[in-house]
Structure 1
């Protein structure tokens, strides 16, 4: 009887206990909001109980380190953002390997940043900004939520592809940066839609373009940067779920299917749209390839941005 016990445990149906979904940022962040939307939907049927566990710190690397070292049994997951790919270059001495120490489960959503200026600004288009920057190198600035953030790197990519000289002004967060743009102290910002659009609707900011390759279904009237004069420009703030490397394929596939069901639910799609997010399910293999492609695409932008200074 004793010899049979381990086999019985090994064959227990999955999931047999709550699943911990780590969010490597604080409560109220975009990552946290998405985690709670998806976790709540997955828990509704009773088969899954998903508990969101906020582990903020060190730009998301603290939570990722813990998950990389967790047991690969399907009971510890992490919802990462584009910052996961950024950190692979931004932090040369990570305690984990961004690719080898995780098993991708599924891409979950993409959220465009939106290029905004003060509502009273004389700049009414991307063309206006680029023309002004070329006429007066180093005179225009762009605010960001901090060095190495997606708001910084989408601006750096804009600077590089437009061939212009604009000055980066890092802040300690999105709110502070947007406040200065609204006050006219900052010329522009590539801000998360969830943060910027309420002020656009209030008439405090003007939205010029979104950073994604295609127009956002949530913001169909706002053109992309690419169609506004910079063909090929695309920067996605994306989110996805990872498990520790070594998690059995059958568990990864089961989780992928359950996440797909959650993302297909009308109420989830409605809640994601309210955040400016586009649901984007993928296969585990597609997500793995996507992460590697993002690391390769963003690495030269990070190196040329100056974000690595001092490391």
Structure 2
């Protein structure tokens, strides 16, 4: 019996070859994530809003990709120490960065930055967006923004505002408040939100802008007073707290956010795996409920969307920094 031979035209052979290539590529994309374990660097101390967002993302990535994801807190220089570690890491998917919007602020506020906030990283996805909340200790005799402004003016040189560190969104939020409200405040930077909130509750500092993720529980427990939120609309988590616009400062609108980056040169297939995993997991009802409970909203985006977003945010936050005159050594 003669062997069977299938004769195909050149065009048919091309179609078959394309189908085989697509099947192979699809199989590769669906393969196991190669890096195990994965280090997720948080450039701030444990317990702060960035750390909270990172640990939720790490748990979901571990479940989705089937790898061990270890969160490592590498604080220092306003977050630049941890970010620099990721910028210098091998682009093999084994090292990731979760950072706040402070990531795009560095060039505008620090004289020297050891990496390029855009070109030294591969954007993966935006994780969440969070209102900043204007907080004061319960012992401070003010109950709204107008009363706070009057109190600061009546106590010149005696009112200080805390932040989670130099150069971050909470710091710039305070600097913007100084400008638009026409008040003088001493800035006291801390190494993370947790120690700053502790001193705020104790009255060692009198004012703080902080992400709702780390302060909401203290407000609900009656340990801090929330005077306003910085977003355009009120937060569903604190519906009775007005916006800064409603409080007499119509030009004051800010939103903090957190995102995931990989080192520059990370293969697109790995970046897509990470983004797809979080797109799927962070939009689940269970995770959305957990995020809402701490004042955050999931905002998962494709890598190309996040790439455009960070460039736009770099320009926006840079303008706020320059207008405020805030600079760091």
TM-score (norm 2): 0.79
* 1:279 has 2:301 as partner: no
Q: Distance in 2 between matches of 1:182 and 1:71?
A: 42
* 1:170 has 2:178 as partner: no
In 1, are the aligned partners of 2:127 and 2:298 still within 8 Å (CA)? yes
Q: Give the structure 2 partner of residue 154 of structure 1.
A: 173
Per the alignment, do residues 22 and 181 of structure 1 end up closer, same or farther by CA in structure 2, a change over 3 Å counting? closer
Q: Give the structure 2 partner of residue 298 of structure 1.
A: 317
Q: Give the structure 1 partner of residue 24 of structure 2.
A: none
Q: Distance in 1 between matches of 2:270 and 2:164?
A: 37
Per the alignment, do residues 148 and 17 of structure 1 end up closer, same or farther by CA in structure 2, a change over 3 Å counting? closer
Q: Give the structure 1 partner of residue 216 of structure 2.
A: 197
Per the alignment, do residues 184 and 73 of structure 1 end up closer, same or farther by CA in structure 2, a change over 3 Å counting? closer
In 2, are the aligned partners of 1:142 and 1:166 still within 8 Å (CA)? no
* 1:15 has 2:36 as partner: no
TM-score (norm 1): 0.83
In 1, are the aligned partners of 2:48 and 2:214 still within 8 Å (CA)? no
In 2, are the aligned partners of 1:208 and 1:223 still within 8 Å (CA)? yes
Q: Give the structure 2 partner of residue 220 of structure 1.
A: 239
In 2, are the aligned partners of 1:144 and 1:168 still within 8 Å (CA)? no
* 1:80 has 2:99 as partner: yes
- Name the SS of the counterpart of 2:186 in structure 1: strand
Q: Give the structure 1 partner of residue 90 of structure 2.
A: 71
Unaligned ranges ≥5, structure 2: 1-27
Q: Distance in 1 between matches of 2:269 and 2:72?
A: 24
Deviation at 1:138, TM superposition (A): 6.0
Q: Distance in 1 between matches of 2:72 and 2:155?
A: 48
Deviation at 1:233, TM superposition (A): 1.9
Unaligned ranges ≥5, structure 1: 1-10
Q: Distance in 1 between matches of 2:228 and 2:169?
A: 16
In 2, are the aligned partners of 1:144 and 1:170 still within 8 Å (CA)? yes
Q: Distance in 1 between matches of 2:166 and 2:75?
A: 17
Where in structure 2 are the equivalents of 1:1-12 lying within 5 Å? Answer: none
Deviation at 1:137, TM superposition (A): 6.8
- Name the SS of the counterpart of 2:142 in structure 1: coil
Could you give the per-residue CA deviations for residues 69-126 of structure 1, whole angstroms, max 9, x where no partner exists?
Answer: 2232333221111221122223332221110111111100122221122335442222
Q: Give the structure 1 partner of residue 148 of structure 2.
A: 129
Deviation at 1:37, TM superposition (A): 1.2
Deviation at 1:172, TM superposition (A): 2.7
Q: Distance in 2 between matches of 1:184 and 1:35?
A: 29
Could you give the per-residue CA deviations for residues 235-290 of structure 1, whole angstroms, max 9, x where no partner exists?
Answer: 22211001122223333223211111121122322322233222111222222222
Q: Distance in 1 between matches of 2:306 and 2:214?
A: 26
- Name the SS of the counterpart of 1:294 in structure 2: helix
- Name the SS of the counterpart of 1:268 in structure 2: helix
Cα RMSD (Å) of the superposition? Answer: 3.0
- Name the SS of the counterpart of 1:74 in structure 2: coil
Could you give the per-residue CA deviations for residues 128-172 of structure 1, whole angstroms, max 9, x where no partner exists?
Answer: 33455577876754333443333221111122233x122123143
Per the alignment, do residues 198 and 61 of structure 1 end up closer, same or farther by CA in structure 2, a change over 3 Å counting? same
Per the alignment, do residues 213 and 53 of structure 1 end up closer, same or farther by CA in structure 2, a change over 3 Å counting? same
Deviation at 1:307, TM superposition (A): 4.3
Deviation at 1:181, TM superposition (A): 4.2
